[in-house]
Amino acid sequence: MRLCAIRGATSVERDEADEIISATTALLAEMLGRNDIRPDELVSLIFTATPDLVAEFPAVAARRLGLSGVALMCAAEIPVAGATPRCVRVLAHCYSRRTNDQLRHVYLGAAKQLRTDLPE
């Protein structure tokens, strides 16, 4: 197994805690599922949220999924003009047997436009 990094992003309709947690939960579940990653293979998750999301920390979703042994960090995404609004991004560090070209990054909702080069 080797240390890998998997990227993902999603969007929410409104800056509400339940929406941020729900969307982030769905994103994490999809990232882990598509890449066959077990919780004990996770090392850390780094979340960013656009400046228009302040109702909740995206990392709350990870804790509610039971990822209590994983290092989590939240940060503000830089405010670039024209960027996808109400967007949560995550960078997951994990151990995997997959090679970089076998990893499946996940982009959901309006965040799909960030990586139109990736298959769904």
Catalytic residue numbers, as ranges: 7, 63, 74, 77, 89, 107, 115
CATH homologous superfamily of domain 2-115?
RutC-like (3.30.1330.40)
Radius of gyration for the alpha carbons in the chain, expressed in angstroms and rounded: 14
Q: What angle do CA 9, 14, 16 make, to 5 degrees?
A: 95
d(CA 1, CA 23): 29
Q: What is the mean pLDDT of each run of 10 residues along the chain (120 residues)?
A: 96 98 98 96 98 98 95 96 96 94 92 73
Token reading at 88: 């949560």
Q: What is the pTM of this model?
A: 0.94
- The pLDDT, as a whole number, for residue 54 is 97
